[in-house]
Amino acid sequence: MARLPKPSAAARWILTLGITGVLVAVGYYQYDQLMNEQSQLLESIAQSDQTIQTLRDIDLADLEAEVADLERRSQSIQARMNALSSHFRTYTHSIEGGEDLYRLADESEVVIEKLQCTGPKSEDIGGMRLEYDTFTIDATAEVPPQLLNFLLKISELYESTTIQHVDMSLPKPDEEGVVSGTSSLTIELKMDYLPQEAV
């Protein structure tokens, strides 16, 4: 079997120098890439530091004062809304009662000429506090039964209603006995109910 010829010393030096040159070239290329990347990162960090410093230099005192003022105003408005809501909630029964009375009048073909409500007021009955509204109603109808029907509907709808006063006026018949004109009714009602907070 033939033996491979042994390279000469010069060939070995040339091969060694070639391999070393290739390794140096590759190492330099990678070093250059890493230096470029480091330079970009350092530039990015410097820009970030500058942005952070710019943001830190902004005076937030005016904005913080404005935010605090807005929070105070928001709390004040909320408190005012709660107070108004509580205030107007006390009139819920008065409004609902008035709406029901107008509805009953329509059903009875009665015209409410005037409706007044006083209340809510409160009173203690047997150790229980009740509130009440007082309604004064002036109503007219073409015939008396319509007014009586109106009174009946009121007493059926509100079990807690007390009719405190009734004044009915009927037209007088003429000489021939014919009745013409409208009948009128004035009533005063007291409607009791539990206070809002007790419901």
The model's pLDDT over 145-154, given as tens digits with 9 standing for 90+, comes to 899 999 888 8
Percent of the chain with pLDDT over 70: 88
pLDDT at 138: 93
Q: How many other C-beta atoms lie within 10 A of the C-beta of residue 37?
A: 10
pLDDT in tens, 73-91: 888 888 887 776 665 555 6
Strands 183-193 and 161-169: antiparallel
Q: How far apart are CA 169 and CA 140, in angstroms?
A: 9
Q: Is the dihedral of CA 141, 143, 147, 152 positive or negative?
A: negative
Amino acid at 19: I
pLDDT at 76: 87
pLDDT band at 198 (very low <50, low <70, confident <90, very high): very low
Nearest C-alpha neighbor of 111 from the set 155, 136, 146, 162: 146
Structure-token pair, residue 81: 């809304």
Q: How far apart are CA 62 and CA 73, in angstroms?
A: 16
Nearest C-alpha neighbor of 185 from the set 135, 147, 153, 146: 147
pLDDT at 179: 66
Domain borders along the chain are: 92-198
pLDDT at 143: 85
Q: In the CATH hierarchy, which top-level class contains the domain 92-198?
A: alpha beta
Nearest C-alpha neighbor of 140 from the set 169, 167, 111: 111
pLDDT in tens, 170-193: 888 777 767 677 889 899 988 877
Structure-token pair, residue 3: 């033996």
